[in-house]
Amino acid sequence: MFPGLSPDKMEKMMKKLGMQMDNIQAKQVVIKTESGDIKIDEPQVIKTTMKGQVVFQISGNIKEEKFSEDDIKLVMDQTGEKNKDKIRQILKETNGDIVEAIMKLKGD
């Protein structure tokens, strides 16, 4: 974190400031937004606690999807298609337009 500062000294300094940092072992982080999901694969997650406040710092391979799992399920229910990868591909092709994706899968 700071060049020339040993990890032990860093830990002691952080404790004096009332800070605690923990690495969280995670496979994926998903942030759900109104416009779609942000998925972070192979994340490096650090949880920092300071004076009762908890902050998560996340870095990794970011992939934004403009459609959610609910969108995929809706398309599956309406078309009978069971292959989620195929549905994701169609949703990408239709820029997340659910109605167009359903029509395309039904062949209309």
Neighbours of 32 (CB within 10 A): 11
d(CA 81, CA 106): 9
pLDDT one digit per residue (tens) for the chain, 108 residues = 567 778 788 778 888 888 988 999 999 999 988 777 889 999 999 999 988 899 999 999 998 877 888 899 999 999 999 999 899 899 989 988 999 999 999 986
- List, in sequence order, every residue forming a beta bridge with 49; answer none if it has no partner: 20, 54
